[in-house]
Amino acid sequence: MIEKKELTEFTKEELFEEIKNIGEKSFRAKQIWQWIYFRGITDIMEMSNLSLSLRQKLAENYTITRPKIITEQISIDKTHKWLLEFKDGERVEMVYIPEKDRGAVCISTQVGCAMGCKFCHTGSQKFTRNLTVSEIVGQFMVARDAYKEWPSPINETRYLSNIVVMGMGEPLNNLDNVVKALNIITDGDGIAISRRRVTMSTSGIAPRIVEALQKTGVRLAVSLHAPNNTVRSQIMPINDKFKIEEVMKACQEYQKGDHSRYITFEYLMLKDLNDNKQHAKELISLLKSYKLKATFNLIPFNPWPGCGFTPSNPKTVEEFSKTLEDAGFAAPVRVARGQDILAACGQLKSKNKEK
Ligand code: SAH
Ligand code: SF4
């Protein structure tokens, strides 16, 4: 038996092409798209405005699969974490971080990560593979199923209002699939999350930054974590390949096109490593020398068993933040969420496959 094709693997253009190739009119593709991404159905036979014979033909050749939920945990602060499994048994974690009347879903782009950042739990696990388009989109659809946000609600009433591509993996190392997935998620006839509400975080794959943003139109966050190459190379091996200067130049290039676009620099606060006043000052002159419009996001380090780093003490973090703010940069300290269920930033790690 031939394996059925996954409908959520197609971009909109590809779906139109596919439907044309099986001899159907193109408005059928639009109807199918809306069933999948606006209504959220997973059973092709429910596509009631298609003829029975077309539904049967589709069901014989195609399928709509969600990642399988293996475990689910809800933290005392309502942060929701899922362990999801794909068809081949590989697993990733996804997190939903609710605010009062909205919230962000944190999605993964790879199983494991090859970048090996020293402070990251995902990075301590070896890279296994890239996620497919359908696996990336499927994560968000699982969250929508859970919060019953089908059909796609209008913006103001959305509980799952934002997406952060900050789960497991380096998105720019899986660029083709990430671009396709984000274009599906932000398409106005379907899931319709606005591009402004999607933030993609990268460890700094400099040559792909501009391309990634041009092709998706989403917001950029850069994991900087150090004010100079010496410190950054100690904690992020990728810095030996793409130095801070290259990353900064790419950010500059990106802002050339649209000055309204602020870049968020994520900065992990590691005790005695990158958290003193001199580091803050160095950081300020770095950003000023490249004339970047930027905000900082100071992240308290979330320890995990065996990590070997210590979080900066809260007073140091406050002082660091104040130094940056006195220089004119917004520098809020991120509140760690879901710590009791190990759902906070950098703590995601898929459990081993079941044998
Ligand atoms: N690979 C991308 C996106 C996923 S990591 C990147 O590195 O940007 C998302 C964010 O979590 C990054 O800023 C990362 O540096 C941060 N992070 C990693 N480990 C962490 C930890 N233990 N505590 C807090 N933040 C961490
Ligand atoms: Fe990969 Fe990001 Fe973790 Fe670094 S911080 S190992 S790039 S997931």
Give pLDDT tens digits for 100-120. 889 999 999 999 999 999 999
Contact 108/169 with Cβ under 8 angstroms?
A: yes
> Looking at ligand 2, which residue's alpha carbon is closest to its atom 4?
117
CATH class of the domain defined by 68-341: alpha beta
Q: DSSP strand E in the chain: where?
A: 5-6, 62-63, 68-74, 80-85, 91-98, 103-106, 110-111, 129-130, 162-165, 198-202, 219-223, 263-269, 294-300
> Looking at ligand 2, which residue's alpha carbon is closest to its atom 6?
123
Quick one: which ligand is closest to 171's CA?
1
Give pLDDT tens digits for 194-228. 999 999 999 999 999 999 999 999 999 999 999 99
Ligand 1 proximity of 223 Cβ (cutoff 6 Å)? yes
Q: Residue holding tokens 């990430």?
A: 178
- Residue 232's pLDDT is 98
Give pLDDT tens digits for 53-77. 999 999 999 999 999 999 999 999 9
> Looking at ligand 1, which residue's alpha carbon is closest to its atom 20?
346
Contact 200/218 with Cβ under 8 angstroms?
A: yes
Determine whether 14 is an active site residue: no
Give pLDDT tens digits for 156-192. 788 999 999 999 999 999 999 999 999 999 999 999 9
Asked whether the whole model's pTM tops 0.85, one would answer yes
CATH class of the domain defined by 5-63: mainly alpha
- Residue 355's pLDDT is 33
Quick one: which ligand is closest to 339's CA?
1
Closest atom, ligand 2, to C-alpha of 123: 6
- Residue 306's pLDDT is 86
Ligand 2 proximity of 123 Cβ (cutoff 6 Å)? yes
- Residue 249's pLDDT is 97
Give pLDDT tens digits for 252-264. 999 886 666 889 9
- Residue 351's pLDDT is 59
- Residue 154's pLDDT is 79
- Residue 125's pLDDT is 83
Residues of CATH 1.10.150.530 domain(s) within the chain? 5-63
Determine whether 113 is an active site residue: no
C-alpha 68 – ligand 1 centre gap (Å): 25
Give pLDDT tens digits for 121-156. 887 888 999 999 999 999 999 999 999 999 998 767
Helices 244-257, 206-216: crossing angle, 10 deg rounding: 20
Residues of CATH 3.20.20.70 domain(s) within the chain? 68-341
Quick one: which ligand is closest to 122's CA?
2
- Residue 354's pLDDT is 39
- Residue 345's pLDDT is 62
Least confident of 22-31, 205-214, 297-306: 297-306
Mean pLDDT taken over the chain? 93
